Structure 1
Amino acid sequence: MTFGLGTFARLDDVFPGLLVDDRVIDLRRALDREDLTTLDLLRDWDRTLPLLRSIAESDSPAIETTDVRPLSPVQPSGQIICTGANYTKHVTQIVYTMTKNQGDARTDEELREFAAATARARRDDPPFFFVGLPSALAGARDDVVLWGPHEQHDWELELAVVIGRRTHRVPVEKAMDAIAGYTISNDITVRDAMFRRDIPMTDFLHSKNRPTYFPTGPVIVPTEFVPDPSRLRIRLSVNGELMQDELVSDIIQGIPELVSAASHVTVLSPGDMILTGSPAGNAGHHGNRWLRPGDLIESSITGLGTQRNLCVAPVADDDFAPTTTLA
């Protein structure tokens, strides 16, 4: 039996739930604690996990998944640490496209070899991290708002790890012990907002951290159900057209290396997430096919569930909250 831990909404009621098959068990009732959150459970993960196994095997009352809305799994949310340029084919595509667009005089064959060599060399460099904002999180079925005035909205589907133990300066060989489980996150990125004309810097706040730019979930799947994350397949389609399809094995810096490196930069706490990077197949690779209102993004990672996010135009409401318009 497998299960996933998440946060769900039923009308105005938000609760931590255990997803077993196609039903959700309200963990407040199962554990007799009305104020319980998923973050509480992650903060005591060694004790929590056996309890979740027992509840999953019980005949606890459950709710059909069609009657609930999955929110971002960790509520309230912790730190979000994102990894950039961490898949070999993705880096190869980026380097090739950038050098070609800059008017490099080398032949296509020479540019492709240069790009591949650059990607291989990344294995000897430390991971590239940047920080995400919890306010940008959305659920696995929530709408993605294509905020203006920029127009080049892109997708970056990623395997995310969720931390289950306080961790600082952990060595690589012990880093996996810090992970509670895995989930899915889509790092929506606005390419024409990334680079400032007035300052030679990358603007990650405007390009990656607007509300709904991190659809995450539907659940956290414990590590015991994912014995080899390198065999997971990451797939994303837009309106039924497959855009990303890659195994995690194409990753440059592996999951233990990422957790260890991040823990040497900051103190990792239960509920923190590390996004491990996006594989190849972004909009630039598909003829600059940027997201548009009305587009349906469908995403999955082996064994971790699926996301269905409708792209919508910006809303005027100042009191914005993520919404779901898909049935």
Structure 2
Amino acid sequence: MTSTTPGPGTGLTAPFAVARFRDGDDDRDGGGPVRLGLVAGERIRPLEEADLGAPHLNAFLAAPDWDRLGRLVDADANTGTGTDTGADSAWRPLAEVTLTAPVQPRQVIQAGANYRTHVIDLVVAHAPKEDTRPEAEIREDAARMMDERAATGEPYFFIGLPAAVVGDDVPLVLPSYSEQHDWELELAVVIGREGFRIAPEEAMDHVAGYTICNDITTRDRVFRADSKGLGADWYRAKNAPGFLPTGPFLVPAGFVEPDDLALTLDLNGERMQDAVTSDLLFDLPALISAASLNMPLLPGDLLLTGSPAGNGAHWGRLLRDGDVMEGSVQGLGTQRVRCIAESAGEYR
């Protein structure tokens, strides 16, 4: 599409990507309106309706013409404006703007328990005290169970609220009703062409691109003491304001090989999650197909693919005021999320 070299500071290896941005500082109320932008290297330029060939991003994603945007990058590079960030150029340094969530999904579908090693670790960690088998034997049995599930089972999904999707420009406010807020870094699929009851062999034709999500979870809200027989309360556990930090980039599908991507999450500079997507129990075609069985998948929707081992519950170290999380997915960039404590007493 284009030969533009991505900038080393972004973590973005694709020739170009899409972002949403504001002028000004990190104050989302004082930084001006959010605009759609085209990112190439360390530069960004606004994308207007005429550039997209569509009235808005989700309409573009319904039939994404990434070559159209690639030609725009190439044309600017060939005329010299690709490196000119002066007053007469549409391009400007990426460092001059504030990036926010790159997508506005209508639906957020989340896969759970979808990393093989992670689930095996959970089985071992939660083995009954009366189980006196060696850990290696418990692990072997858990591995057999996971292989059986991958061969004959189905993905497990729950629903997230689109209102929880924010960029890393917004600090993560840790609600005062709990001290058990946790991280879960994930590769997220951005849906392109609408699809309903999609066959696995056609699933990847419905992928427009990829981004990064951190699925924040309040652990002591997952299973409620007052309704133990009703199962998990994902609404209260996962859908507080800002609990889905997303982005910073939407990377076109053609630039990404999703089957073997590295994912890492650092907490205050210390590595907590470190995995590859080849460890997924259900791969992307299986996830997309299964997610489309109940409701049509719509352009711009997010499908989170699951989080690997290494969340805070595993380490016995949950999020606190002042923490900084840096989550990266190979080639898709890095998001940096700052945590701040909410004033006590506002919620219960």
TM-score by length of 1: 0.89
Residue 199 of structure 2 is aligned to residue 179 of structure 1: no
Give the drift of 1:30: 6.3
Residue 194 of structure 2 is aligned to residue 166 of structure 1: yes
Aligned 8 A contact 1:8 1:17 in 2? yes
Q: Which residue pairs with 2:226 in the alignment? A: 198
Cα pair distance change 1:315/1:268, threshold 3 Å: farther
Correspondence for 1:122 among 134, 137, 149? 149
Aligned 8 A contact 2:49 2:55 in 1? no
Aligned 8 A contact 1:140 1:306 in 2? no
SS in 2 for 1:253: coil
Give the drift of 1:55: 1.5
Q: Which residue pairs with 1:27 in the alignment? A: 47
Correspondence for 1:58 among 41, 56, 75? 75
Residue 292 of structure 2 is aligned to residue 263 of structure 1: yes
Q: Which residue pairs with 2:172 in the alignment? A: 144
Partners of 2:147 and 2:180 in 1: CA distance: 28
Partners of 1:269 and 1:127 in 2: CA distance: 19
Give the drift of 1:152: 1.3
Aligned 8 A contact 2:49 2:56 in 1? no
Give the drift of 1:143: 1.3
Summarize deviations over 1:167-205 as a string: whole Å, max 9, x none. 011111111000000110010111111001122210111
Letter in 2 for 1:25: R
SS in 2 for 1:95: helix
Partners of 2:50 and 2:97 in 1: CA distance: 17
Summarize deviations over 1:289-315 as a string: whole Å, max 9, x none. 111111110011111011000111125
Q: Which residue pairs with 1:321 in the alignment? A: none
Letter in 2 for 1:193: R
Q: Which residue pairs with 1:231 in the alignment? A: 260
Residue 210 of structure 2 is aligned to residue 210 of structure 1: no
Correspondence for 1:8 among 21, 40, 50? 21
Aligned 8 A contact 2:52 2:68 in 1? no
Partners of 2:192 and 2:322 in 1: CA distance: 37
Partners of 2:147 and 2:112 in 1: CA distance: 15
SS in 1 for 2:138: helix
Give the drift of 1:32: 8.8
Give the drift of 1:285: 2.2
Letter in 2 for 1:8: F
Give the drift of 1:105: 3.9
Summarize deviations over 1:196-241 as a string: whole Å, max 9, x none. 1122210111111111110101111111101x21121001010111
Summarize deviations over 1:273-297 as a string: whole Å, max 9, x none. 10001111111222x1111111110
Partners of 1:255 and 1:156 in 2: CA distance: 18
Q: Extract structure 1 runs of 4+ deviating beyond 3 A.
A: 102-107
Q: Which residue pairs with 1:302 in the alignment? A: 330
Q: Which residue pairs with 2:277 in the alignment? A: 248
Summarize deviations over 1:95-124 as a string: whole Å, max 9, x none. 111225x65443333332333233223202
Correspondence for 1:78 among 77, 85, 106? 106
Q: Which residue pairs with 2:133 in the alignment? A: 106
SS in 2 for 1:13: coil
Letter in 2 for 1:57: D
Aligned 8 A contact 2:321 2:340 in 1? yes
Residue ranges of structure 2 left out of the alignment (5+ in a row): 4-14, 24-30, 82-89
Partners of 1:209 and 1:99 in 2: CA distance: 29
Structure with larger Rg: 2
Letter in 1 for 2:61: L
Q: Which residue pairs with 1:42 in the alignment? A: 61
Q: Which residue pairs with 1:274 in the alignment? A: 303
TM-score by length of 2: 0.84
Cα pair distance change 1:237/1:32, threshold 3 Å: closer
Aligned 8 A contact 2:194 2:297 in 1? yes
Q: Which residue pairs with 1:91 in the alignment? A: 119
Aligned 8 A contact 1:8 1:15 in 2? yes
Aligned 8 A contact 2:52 2:69 in 1? no
Letter in 1 for 2:211: T
Same amino acid, percent of matched pairs:
43
Letter in 2 for 1:188: I
SS in 2 for 1:99: coil
Q: Name the stretch that deviates more: 48-57 or 105-114.
A: 105-114
